[in-house]
């Protein structure tokens, strides 16, 4: 590490970020011992970043360990889009390769709702690249109106699992069991914060559906699908009352909103 100006030290640390993360404590001790307070501050920042990264590694490793503890080929499944007024319901199923060493981990995975849009999209690419197999299955608003949201909610799970290229020995589902699934299935409360496979499924399902709704926004811009994803936000409801429903809307969800009887979406 250079012993020049603070800016030279900063540039060196940025250029060798990965090495610094795993560097021996002597580097941090040298920064802490430097008489310049700005250099000491750099050392403190690096120390905090390393501690934060180590906590993240341990958190994510626990998600992988949860799945591996079953001793079976595990698939995680999760859905998004049960409650919106428009658009499809989507499920994803993900199987990760065995291993919970650092190089195997996808750091950052979590309940998709806890992640920023940018983070979800970055993780979506990594998950698709690293997964042993994954599948996405959707049912349209017309399916929901014809068959009911309860049935479609379960069928997107089953459809995603049927579409995997490798058969799982155990399916972990978020919150509740998958009805009529012929194999072994275990529901996990808050599964997207417990299981690596469920967390990954949560992320790719949400990214897929959000992108779909953003594309549909081009055809129906007044409804705000690019930011509300079809959920009943105030601007979406106002647009419905002003312009009426589109072919993407779930008519069975709109009865109360449009003054046409029961608003139940079950």
Structure tokens at 38: 């700005």
Q: Tell me if 210 is assigned to a ligand binding site.
A: no
Distances in Å between the Cα of 44 and the Cα atoms of 6, 164, 209, 258 are 14, 46, 41, 58
Residue 90's contacts (CB-CB under 8 Å, 6 or more residues apart) are 79, 80, 81, 136, 137, 138, 156, 205, 208, 209, 212
Dihedral class, residue 102 (left if φ above 0, else alpha if ψ from -120 to 50, else beta): alpha
Q: Tell me if 78 is assigned to a ligand binding site.
A: yes
Q: Tell me if 266 is assigned to a ligand binding site.
A: no
Structure tokens at 190: 């808050």
**What is the C-alpha separation between 119 and 10, in angstroms, rounded?**
26
* Strand 170-174 relative to strand 185-188, pairing: parallel
Tell me the binding residues for a divalent metal cation.
Answer: 78-79, 174
Binding residues: 78-79, 174
């Amino acid at each position: 590490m250079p012993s020049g100006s603070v800016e030279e030290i900063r540039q060196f640390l940025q250029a060798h970020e990965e090495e610094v993360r795993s560097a021996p404590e002597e580097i941090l001790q040298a920064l802490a011992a430097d008489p310049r307070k700005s250099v000491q501050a750099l050392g403190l920042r690096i120390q905090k970043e390393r501690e934060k990264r180590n906590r993240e590694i341990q958190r994510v490793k626990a998600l992988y360990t949860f799945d591996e503890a079953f001793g079976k080929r595990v698939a995680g499944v999760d859905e998004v889009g049960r409650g919106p007024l428009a658009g499809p319901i989507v499920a994803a199923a993900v199987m990760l390769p065995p291993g919970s060493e650092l190089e195997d981990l996808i750091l950052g995975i979590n309940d998709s709702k806890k992640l920023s849009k940018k983070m979800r999209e970055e993780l979506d690419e990594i998950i698709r690249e690293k997964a042993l197999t994954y599948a996405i299955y959707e049912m349209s608003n017309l399916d929901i109106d014809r068959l009911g949201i309860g049935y479609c909610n379960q069928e997107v799970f089953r459809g995603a699992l049927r579409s995997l290229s490798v058969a799982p020995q155990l399916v972990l589902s978020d919150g509740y069991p998958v009805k009529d699934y012929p194999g072994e299935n275990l529901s996990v409360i808050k599964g997207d914060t417990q299981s690596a496979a469920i967390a990954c499924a949560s992320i790719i399902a949400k990214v897929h559906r959000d992108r779909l709704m953003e594309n549909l926004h081009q055809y129906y811009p007044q409804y705000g699908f690019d930011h509300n994803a079809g959920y009943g936000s105030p601007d979406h409801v106002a647009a419905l009352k002003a312009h009426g429903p589109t072919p993407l809307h779930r008519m069975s969800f709109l009865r109360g909103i449009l003054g046409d009887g029961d608003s139940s979406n079950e």
